[in-house]
Chains A and B, each alone.
Chain A
């Protein structure tokens, strides 16, 4: 059997992952950028956290809540950027025409984008979280198993938003590129990163609760402040993430089909 004709080929996914690894390796600013922002965030919020630890009874009760929040928030942000930016690379290099006349299928490209997003996010997160240990004597790894659950859910939310952004850019061109930088910040005030959802007006809490990451951040505070793991929040996050991912993939595939209808695959570029 011709291996190029198989329905889903891990080899083709690996080829695309390799393509993005080559790209990263070829540009040191890209590697620096992965570590730079989370490091800046950790330093900034670490000192804010230190300040609140002596001035706020709430934060003082759970040292590291803010630092955990910023580290977890960065997972989602990096994950979204990882998907969007890797896809933009194909558009910048006007390579989509070649890719899609090869046996590469659209969902294999999606799998490669998600894999690269995972690797980039992991590098960012590990770098920043290890930095917090000597600087603030704070280890997010003390969260234990829940950290894995939080990491998984946030990365999936980031994937979904990243695919939605990539879909819009595939449909409307690189003029919509700035969405990659602003999309996830648009939901940041609503998702309860640094404060409980109960702070928000009641009507806005409905919006907030429809975002998967809200349940992760609430779950994080439950673990750190109340020392309980909330399975109800976990199931909410998983369910919402399933819906978000389905919508993200659907939009990406639809944008691809629209590009095929409109002849954009040979034209998309800078």
Chain B
């Protein structure tokens, strides 16, 4: 795919004797929401970390927005962002202070206006002066999402964006992300265990197992191909190895 926003080629990552990713290759088209599915230890977080340049590959190539992420990471980073419930913001700083620092790091010219705008859109204006550590899980998620959207990224990488949220808040976040993608034309890659989320949000799904890409397609296409009722059944089928792993790496 020539105009891909993400191009991954033969990406391999080892941690000592353990192979976390085994020569995976895939492209992500601009303006799409792609789900990265897999069980625990399948390689989802490793893939996202490699795409962000937080992790160095053992071998292989990653291009994000046409930039080689190993050599030109700093040209791509201002145009992308990331959110994960497993990476925190400083607890003792207020919400406004945290967001202001990141707004400055991303080179925003009118930090206050952008923070106020996101506060209104994500309904946390009343929390701006409260310390981040005093927020509930749902409030933290909204603030972390605001941090991830400060620079209006063309590419948003999300690691389990609705983990630990109640169904109402999870639904709110999904709707917001979908609306942001439609409004901005950004690409979103989200790693998730939540199959309902993937079915609802993603037009494209990449399935990882044991560090390999074992399948890819639209949710409807995958459900049909495996003869299942929903993505959860597809996921269980693949995670339990019923597929035999023969399809590993067939997606490029």
Contact = CB atoms under 8 A, between A and B. Distances in A.
Interface of A: 2-5, 9, 11-12, 14-16, 18-19, 22-23, 26-27, 89, 93-95, 97-105, 257, 260-263, 265-266
B56 A261 contact: yes
Interface string B29-46: 000000000000000011
A263 B46 contact: yes
A59 B241 CA distance: 80
Chain A facing B: main interface SS: helix
Contacts of B75: 5
B89 A95 contact: yes
Contact of A101 (B45, B81, B86, B88): B81
A103 B92 contact: no
B93 A23 contact: yes
A102 B74 contact: no
Contact of A4 (B89, B94, B97, B106): B106
11 contacts: A2-B78, A4-B78, A16-B101, A101-B54, A102-B102, A102-B106, A104-B105, A260-B53, A261-B55, A263-B15, A266-B54
B84 interface: yes
B101 A19 contact: yes
A2 B102 CA distance: 16
Contacts of B46: 263
The contact size tier of chain B is 35 or more
Contact of B90 (A95, A97, A103, A104): A95
Contacts of A105: 74
B104 A15 contact: yes
Contacts of B90: 19, 23, 89, 93, 95
Given A260-B55, A266-B45, A266-B87, A103 B93 contact: no
A257 B101 contact: no
A103 B74 contact: yes
B172 interface: no
Nearest to A23: B92
Contacts of A9: 107
Interface string B95-127: 001001110111100000000000000000000
B107 A266 contact: no
A265 B100 contact: no
B80 to A, nearest CB: 8
Contact of A18 (B80, B81, B101): B101
Interface centre among B53, B81, B97, B104 (most CB of A within 10 A): B104
A98 B87 contact: yes
A97 B151 contact: no
B131 A26 contact: yes
Contacts of B49: 263, 265-266
Contacts of B104: 11-12, 14-15, 18
